[in-house]
Amino acid sequence: MVGNPNVGKSALFNRLTGSYAVVSNYPGTTVAITTGRMKIAGKDYSVVDTPGMYSLYPITDEERVGRRMLLDGGYEVVLHVVDAKNLTRMIHLTMQLKEAGIPVILVLNIMDEAEETGLVIDIETLEKRLGIPVVPTVGIAGKGVRRLKEVIENYRPDSRNFHVDFSLAVEKASREIAPLLPPTSLSSRALSLLALQEDRDVLELISRLPRDRADRIIGVIDALKRELDHPVNYDITMGLGRRAGQVLEGIIAKRERKTRFTRDFLDRILISPWTGVPILLLVLYFGFYKFVGGFGAGVVVDFLEGHIFGKYLIPFINHWTEQLIPWPILQNLIAEDYGVLTLGVRYAVAIILPIVGTFFIVFSVVEDSGYLPRLSLLIDRVFKWVGLSGRAVIPMTLGFGCGTMATVVTRTLESTRERVIATILLALAIPCSAQLGVIFALAANSPGVLVTWIGTVSAVFLFIGYLTARIIPGRQPDFFMELPPLRMPRLANVWLKTSSRMRWYFVEILPLFLLASVLIWAGNVTGIFPILLKLLAVPTRAIGLPNEAAQAFLFGFFRRDYGVAGLYDIQQRGLLTGNQLAVATITLTLFLPCIAQFLVMMKERGLKMALGVAVFVFPFAFLVGGSVNFMLKVLGLTL
């Protein structure tokens, strides 16, 4: 399956396979390729969903992924999924696929919205002109899916050629190099057009050819470039546009559009700064502070942690471990203060899971409604200041859920520069939902702490963002984004999305929590931890915190949220004053990202970058914490 971002590919994928891929109403959230199984008339098919793709010529790395799959082949048929109301624009890729000799079925998805807009499409004529099957669907409701399966089952490749005429210069150059190119799943004509646009992957294929052949091809490309004075891509797009006009001539009729007063009104107030910013604050307050912080981190955590674990499970586990295992060392591995069950499982299940779960519920609703693109355009100007574009709202917002996941999603950003800046900010100044939840719970009774924390962390975000944007070379990113219509989130979809994200998170973190508690146990047994704790106690005391906080920092090294959860314990024991709480939460928020995020940073940005961030963040967190402590003292404030 290929197609533009946000045409409902993932929803259709789910309908076809019955399995689940994360579906979102936000361009570019399908980062990885998702594969599922589908059965039609007893025959097994494997369905592959690709990240969004605008044209055969990719711009972002994400698009490259899908295109590489097209080049590699190994598919029976490609479903090109388009948003029916934008057929005029999206048919370009259909024609490119057809011209490239790829077996393709055109799926006109989101047909309901097209009909609502008043569009009527003559599907039969369209099929004839393109020489491929065309199937209308409403993926999210499952309409037309059965028919699509029938069409897939009976699909026979159409050997007729489809030809798009480009400018004479391009045609000539294409004919010259086509016979020189290596064979791929694309027709040599399609490959030659990509070569003329200097597509990275195709140039690489060419570089592997014998020297003289490669040189001849490059010679033709260079000559064309000199001749044209504008990007070759321009000619190609214009050619496709003309051909699209021919194919669609008389096919789309327009009836009167129903006006959608409520939706238009909502849309307007979301993107106007005067109403949009207050709405954003409301979403943050009710969605995150009240629901995630109050309900998730308060009510649910209290119940699970205080009631289920504290009253029943922990005493039970401690009792039976003492009964069954005679050696205190092993007792400590499983139970007591730092046991795998009493610390690892308790933190993961009773504290972190409810918080992350409630966050993902809110995020899924927000994502499905189409609010995020509107937030992007609202915030673009602010983000430009820190060297990012409004597009970075997705990874940044997702970072409030899980920094690890968000670091992976920075792939959707356009330039390496943006990705680096986003990675640094995610590691430093964006607290994940686990941290947020606990911090909200910690600061619930002292608004002063909360204000100091928000103020300091936002200042650090802006300041460090501003600095990195000035230091890292490269130009400011462009902001451009399609605004999908606002859609009412569907309960079933929100639930599927939340549960699959929670499953992902749980599978990912539980082993790490267990590993961390084993490491802490080993550290204690071998005597390394007491030494490290003593060392950490020095800067901890220096910023005015009790010795016990050093432990939270050390645990935070294994998982950032683990550390905050530890802080929660300390505060419950009444060991922190308001000022200390503020300093501790600030330092911990800025402190090193968790092991998982560190590993992902290494994978995505390289070891050097990951280590560099670590080396910077460690002293910086303490420096900021210390300064806040000092300022509070100088100003004589007690929070």
Partner 1 sequence: MKDEVLEILWTKLVEGGLDSIGSEEIILGEQGPANGRILKDLAEEGMISLEEDRVNLTDSGFEEARMTIRRHRLSERLFNDVFEVYHEEFESPACRFEHMLIRPKLEKKICELLGHPKTCPHNRPIPVGECCHRAEMRTDKAVVPMSKLRQGESGVIAYVHTGDSDKLKKLMAMGILPGEDVSLERRFPSFVFRVGYSRFAVDEGMAAAIFVRRPAENPTEETL
Residue ranges binding partner 1 (CB under 8 A)? 54-55, 57, 59, 85-86, 88-90, 92, 114, 117, 119, 167-169, 228-231, 233-235, 237-238, 241-242, 271-273, 373, 376-381, 384, 389-390, 476, 478-483
Among residues 117 and 524, whose Cβ is nearest to partner 1?
A: 117
In terms of CB distance, is 115 or 302 closer to partner 1?
Answer: 115
Residue among 78 and 119 whose Cβ is closer to partner 1: 119
Classify the C-alpha dihedral 480-482-486-487 as positive or negative: negative
Our CB check for partner 1 shows the closer of 371 and 479 to be: 479
Q: Of 117 and 446, which has the nearer Cβ to partner 1?
A: 117
Tokens 């981190």, located at residue: 297
Instruction: In angstroms, give the least distance from the CB of 243 to partner 1.
Output: 13
What tokens does 267 get? 């849309």
Pick the closer one to partner 1 by CB: 54 or 359.
54
- Residue 227: CB minimum distance to partner 1, A: 9
CB of 485 to partner 1, least distance (A): 8
Q: What is the C-alpha to C-alpha distance for residues 390 and 481, in angstroms, rounded to an integer?
A: 9
Task: Give the dihedral of Cα atoms 307, 311, 316, 322; nearest 10 deg.
Answer: 130
Contact residues for 106 (Cβ-Cβ < 8 A; gap 6+): 80, 82, 91, 94, 126, 130, 132, 133, 134, 135
Considering beta carbons, is residue 213 or 384 the nearer one to partner 1? 384
How does 228-264 read in b/e, with b if 16+ C-beta sit within 10 Å?
A: beeebbebbbebbeebbeebbeebbeeeeeeeeeeee
Q: What is the DSSP string of 383-447?
A: HHHTT--GGGHHHHHHHTT-HHHHHHHGGGSSSHHHHHHHHHHHHHT---HHHHHHHHHHTTT-H
Residue 167 or 499 having the CB closest to partner 1: 167
Nearer to partner 1, 270 or 512 (CB): 270
- Cβ 516 to partner 1 shortest distance, Å: 42
Minimum CB–partner distance for residue 20 and partner 1 (Å): 28
Q: Which residue, 476 or 524, is less far from partner 1 as judged by CB? A: 476
SS3 (DSSP) at 36: strand
Cβ at position 99, least distance to partner 1 in Å: 17
Output DSSP code: residue 139: G
For residue 381, the minimal CB distance to partner 1 (Å) is 5
Shortest Cβ distance from residue 56 to partner 1 (Å)? 11
Nearer CB in complex with partner 1: 274/327: 274
Cα torsion 55, 57, 62, 66: sign: positive
Neighbours of 43 (CB within 10 A): 9
E strand map for 122-196: 134-136
Distance, in Å, from the CA atom of 79 to the CA atom of 8, rounded to the nearest integer, reads 12
- The minimum distance between CB 229 and partner 1, in angstroms, equals 4
User: Residue 501: phi, psi to the nearest 5?
Assistant: -70, -40
- Residue 539 DSSP symbol: H
In angstroms, what is the minimal distance from the CB of 606 to partner 1?
24
Name the minimum Å distance from CB 29 to partner 1.
17
Sort strands 119-121 and 252-254 into parallel, antiparallel or unpaired.
antiparallel
In the numeric block, which tokens belong to residue 360? 């993902």
Give the Å distances, CA to CA, from 536 to 275, 482, 557, 619.
Answer: 46, 49, 11, 11
